[in-house]
Amino acid sequence: METLYVKVPGTVDTSYPIEIGAGLLGSVWAGLDERFAGRGRFVVTDANVAAAGLLDELLAGTEVPCYTIEPPGEVSKNVDTAVGIVEAMEKACLGRDTLVVALGGGTVGDIAGFAAAIFKRGVPVVQVPTTTLAQADSAIGGKTGVDSSVSKNAFGAFWHPAVVYIDVATLKTLDERQYRAGLVESVKHAVIADAEYFDFLERRLDDILGRKLEVLEAIAGYNCRIKGSVVEADPHERNKRRILNYGHTIGHAVESASSYDLLHGEAVAVGMAAAGLIEAEMGLAEPARLQRVQGVLERLGVPVRLPDSIAQEKVLDLLQHDKKAVGKWPRFVLTDRLGHAYCENGQYAVDVHREIVEKVLKKLR
Amino acid sequence: METLYVKVPGTVDTSYPIEIGAGLLGSVWAGLDERFAGRGRFVVTDANVAAAGLLDELLAGTEVPCYTIEPPGEVSKNVDTAVGIVEAMEKACLGRDTLVVALGGGTVGDIAGFAAAIFKRGVPVVQVPTTTLAQADSAIGGKTGVDSSVSKNAFGAFWHPAVVYIDVATLKTLDERQYRAGLVESVKHAVIADAEYFDFLERRLDDILGRKLEVLEAIAGYNCRIKGSVVEADPHERNKRRILNYGHTIGHAVESASSYDLLHGEAVAVGMAAAGLIEAEMGLAEPARLQRVQGVLERLGVPVRLPDSIAQEKVLDLLQHDKKAVGKWPRFVLTDRLGHAYCENGQYAVDVHREIVEKVLKKLR
């Protein structure tokens, strides 16, 4: 008997740039020429983004093979779509020197990022997020994934983007409901990591809702700095990165229980309201914090109560099947003051008794 | 306009162990208890391996969820099988703390490794190869992948095993043809990297064909040291790792042109014979080298000529669509002396004129 060892060489620190601006979409193609000369390109987008004219603005008259996800949205975020993208890339005779460009919202970025991760053992992806959700959250951090028939993100890979281009002017194309729901992730960032950012959101909310470009650039900067620093500290979500799941444990269950009638951000808003009530139950509340957070969410016009159509038992059952703790009662991310995630014994995902969650769900009506 | 940077932290050097022995299969489970206490397990195997009794020997009476690939072999190495494995893991309520154990040949290892890479953004895989091919080659090095309807390994990931257990006694269960074809990768290792190993193979071939365990342990050691050192030097196949593709450029085309009637190792044997003829055409031959290599391959009983059923034009057409150089004429790996890969201007994949390949294919009849 013999034991040999194969070394897996480590990697050096790298970084990827996030360009933030208003109206930069038309110059992305030229930027890629500089950064990735000689690479073939393949664009993944969806029917809504194309219809809004953003694909034409990106391509600026060039001919590039594209895959348009149809229908747009969560319903297409499955492994069949990812397989379809890979096969379309093959049919376009693309090889390992290809660059995948994801133009669209969170769904497009997640699917395209995953397809890039698994195409011929991985090719780089450029994220060009065009929604409040994707610009604040999903385009940064390297999480990609698609759903199976059984659960969300059953398939996935950590696949960091090569570069991210955030054009806040693209947000003008969003419908009001999607625009507002996506801003919930910005509120989440402020609540878990930056009280000053929360003050800014509270103060400038009318300008944000009016889609004033300079304030949108400012919040993009806040979001990327917060999310970037959390991801840097814990890229594979061993502990600290879990704080980004604030409001998401109950949020995912509510989203699923609504059969995805609720948008992701809307469900997370309910989850954040629930987290606030859990904090109060557990003695982590500060005076007025819950009211301030709920106040901002209400001004966004997103729900902060459990809709009547969703049974509490359904939510509890889905929590029991949470993907982060299959078969066990999940842990929760909480805050102990505005802009500060609660840490217990060095862990950011903490135990909350099922009885407390049941009580909170009753209060959420 | 603002540019931010998100750091992607580097990783430290790690290594994974390869345990080599005769009859160690029955103690793998206990070894995993020590190495990965508390992790759920999921076994991927195929119908042949299970029928040979190896699954029972591995499980040693324990109850573990399994996925049995059916039918065994290349025909199942596709994305549908990988999706089926992931969904079976979900249905078994397995989470991110799961260990995937791949028990079988190259196909099982490739599929199971890929499924582990994409299950909930990646869980560790343990490779337990049971064929001459997998023990020499595919279980080591972290390449995983499955085919699409368009081409081989269209889907894939680099996903290093957490540990590899090589029980050479499992080779006794292989049918003669598969056993012999898999040994071609061992001959390839000797030809590209170790003339002394080639002498050993030549000298001990009768014992190898007689499946004498101590000589099988010895060649497993040679193979793992050679493949391990090449992979360490170039894990992502930027240059040096390409030498492992010796005989594979034409080999893959021949394998595909035969509609997979030829086993992988058999097609690679034809490819190695072709490489030898190309070397002669290009003035890289040594006296008697081609004869010695062909001699060993002939004693293995694998083909060293292009079967009559395969048209040269078909092979040339497939070469034009080689996945490593889509749309371009591929580069080839050659040797300039026994045990030594040819390097031209620092590159191990070198230009060979199409005319030379055409001439060699004619000579291969």
Question: CB A75: neighbour CB atoms within 10 A?
Answer: 12
Q: Mutate which of B118, B160, B163 to test chain A, going by most A C-beta atoms within 10 A?
A: B118
Same domain, A350 and A253: yes
Same domain, B170 and B283: no
Per-residue model confidence as pLDDT tens digits over B300-348: 999 999 999 999 999 999 998 766 665 678 999 999 999 999 999 999 9
Instruction: Give the distance from residue B37's alpha carbon to the nearest chain A alpha carbon, in angstroms.
Output: 17
Residues A347, A353, A357, A360: what is their CA dihedral angle, to the nearest 10 degrees?
-100
Q: Check: CB of residue B284 under 8 Å from CB of residue B342.
A: yes
Same domain, A203 and A161: no
Q: Check: CB of residue A118 under 8 Å from CB of residue A49.
A: no
Query: Per-residue b/e over A278-306, b at no fewer than 16 CB within 10 Å?
Result: bbebbebbeeebbebbbebbeebebbbeb
pLDDT at A140: 95
Q: Check: CB of residue A42 under 8 Å from CB of residue A99.
A: yes
Same domain, A309 and A280: yes
In angstroms, the CA A349 to CA A240 distance is: 9
Same domain, A57 and A163: yes
The lowest-confidence range among A70-74, B17-21, B68-72 is: A70-74
**Strand B66-69 vs strand A340-341: parallel, antiparallel, or unpaired?**
unpaired
**Residue entry with tokens 């879990």:** A242
User: Does residue B220 fall inside a structural domain?
Assistant: no
Please answer yes or no on whether A224 and B11 come within 8 Å at the CB atom.
Answer: no
Please give the DSSP secondary-structure letter assigned to residue A174: S
pLDDT in tens, chain A (365 residues): 899 999 998 888 899 999 999 999 999 999 999 999 989 999 999 999 999 999 999 998 999 999 999 999 888 999 999 999 999 999 998 989 999 999 999 999 999 999 999 999 999 999 999 999 999 999 999 999 999 988 888 999 999 999 999 999 999 999 999 999 999 999 999 999 999 999 999 999 999 999 999 999 999 999 999 999 999 999 888 999 999 999 999 999 999 999 989 999 999 999 999 999 999 999 998 889 999 999 999 999 999 999 999 999 999 999 987 666 656 789 999 999 999 999 999 999 999 999 999 999 999 98
When CB atoms are compared, the residue of A11, A145, A327 closest to B11 is A11
The phi and psi torsions of A50 (rounded to 5 degrees) equal -65, -45
Q: Check: CB of residue B166 under 8 Å from CB of residue B288.
A: no
Active-site residue, A121 included: yes
Please answer yes or no on whether A16 and B2 come within 8 Å at the CB atom.
Answer: no
Query: Active-site residues of B: which are they?
Result: 121, 143, 185, 227, 237, 241, 245, 248, 252, 264
Q: In chain B, which residues have their Cβ closer than 8 Å to the Cβ of A154?
A: 86-87, 90, 119-120
pLDDT at A47: 96
Active-site residue, A227 included: yes
User: Does residue A234 fall inside a structural domain?
Assistant: no
Same domain, A156 and A195: no
Q: Check: CB of residue B162 under 8 Å from CB of residue B128.
A: no
pLDDT at A327: 61
In angstroms, the CA B267 to CA B260 distance is: 9
Same domain, B126 and B54: yes
Q: In chain A, which residues have their Cβ closer than 8 Å to the Cβ of B121?
A: 143-145, 153, 156-158
Q: Report pTM.
A: 0.94
Same domain, B143 and B189: no
User: Does residue B1 fall inside a structural domain?
Assistant: no
User: Does residue B232 fall inside a structural domain?
Assistant: no
Please answer yes or no on whether B7 and A13 come within 8 Å at the CB atom.
Answer: yes
Active-site residue, A185 included: yes
Domain boundary among A155, A174, A193: A174
CATH code of the domain covering residue B281: 1.20.1090.10
User: Does residue A296 fall inside a structural domain?
Assistant: yes
Which runs of E-coded beta strand occur in A132-220?
143-146, 155-158, 163-167
Please answer yes or no on whether A87 and B228 come within 8 Å at the CB atom.
Answer: no
Please answer yes or no on whether B86 and A15 come within 8 Å at the CB atom.
Answer: no
Expressed as residue numbers, the domain containing B110 is 18-174
Domain boundary among A174, A198, A228: A174
Same domain, A52 and A95: yes
Region B95-106: mean pLDDT is 96
**Beta bridge partner(s), residue B46:** B69
Please give the tally of structural domains in chain A: 2
Q: Mutate which of A1, A3, A5, A8 to test chain B, going by most B C-beta atoms within 10 A?
A: A8
Please answer yes or no on whether A16 and B4 come within 8 Å at the CB atom.
Answer: no
Q: In chain A, which residues have their Cβ closer than 8 Å to the Cβ of B146?
A: none
In angstroms, the CA B270 to CA B297 distance is: 9
Per-residue model confidence as pLDDT tens digits over B249-259: 999 999 999 99
pLDDT at A287: 82
- CB within 8 Å of A91: residues ≥ 6 apart: B150
ipTM of the complex: 0.92
CATH code of the domain covering residue A62: 3.40.50.1970
Catalytic residue among A39, A77, A160, A264: A264
CA of B23: which chain A residue's CA is closest? A1
Q: Mutate which of A83, A121, A237 to test chain B, going by most B C-beta atoms within 10 A?
A: A121
Same domain, B185 and B124: no
**Beta bridge partner(s), residue B67:** B44
Q: Check: CB of residue A316 under 8 Å from CB of residue A357.
A: yes
User: Does residue A235 fall inside a structural domain?
Assistant: no
CA of B113: which chain A residue's CA is closest? A121
Please answer yes or no on whether B153 and A7 come within 8 Å at the CB atom.
Answer: no
User: Does residue A230 fall inside a structural domain?
Assistant: no
Domain boundary among B174, B196, B224: B174
Same domain, B93 and B148: yes
User: Does residue B281 fall inside a structural domain?
Assistant: yes
Same domain, A118 and A40: yes
- CB within 8 Å of A306: residues ≥ 6 apart: A254, A270, A312, A315, A361, A364, A365
pLDDT band at B141 (very low <50, low <70, confident <90, very high): very high
Active-site residue, A77 included: no
Give the DSSP H or E segment for B333: none
